Structure 1
């Protein structure tokens, strides 16, 4: 289970029940057999999905993610330098992101 809170369902990814190979196979075949790709000037769903995925990845590069986690841990430890190191969203935003993750993953 990767990061479900990053998936915009149907735009840049899909969810599948754990171990449901048939569901993955069905979705892959739909993407591969997309009739839009066969029309002149048509853009395949797989291309649109890939482009949408690349858009969201820009905000989640490893350096930025590691810096955010480091700032969180330092703040949690009360380290003075962490208070200005990286602006973090307010707790309510973090909680709402967690709630969205929990809802999408079925982990309430």
Structure 2
């Protein structure tokens, strides 16, 4: 197996990605990444000279989104009608950061 990545390369990648690796993890990660690269090597050996690039596997798709049409929304009363608790025309929800008694 040809080594594509050195431990220095893997350390640089880990530093860039902010991943802390011990020396043992660095050595194992280097072996693992080189193994992955070796496994994918046959892909690079295909003759793709006459193959046109594909931009979407299904091809010929166009925008299938509907037009953005403005429709009337709820009134404030309708929106609050099923709220378990409300206060001053707003939803009243429990505090999640502390400091509140609701």
Question: Larger RCO: Structure 1 or Structure 2 (Cα < 8 Å, ≥ 6 residues apart)?
Answer: 1
Scaled by the length of structure 2, the TM-score of the pair is: 0.28
TM-score, scaled to structure 1: 0.27
- Which structure: greater helix fraction? 1
Q: Which has the larger radius of gyration?
A: 2
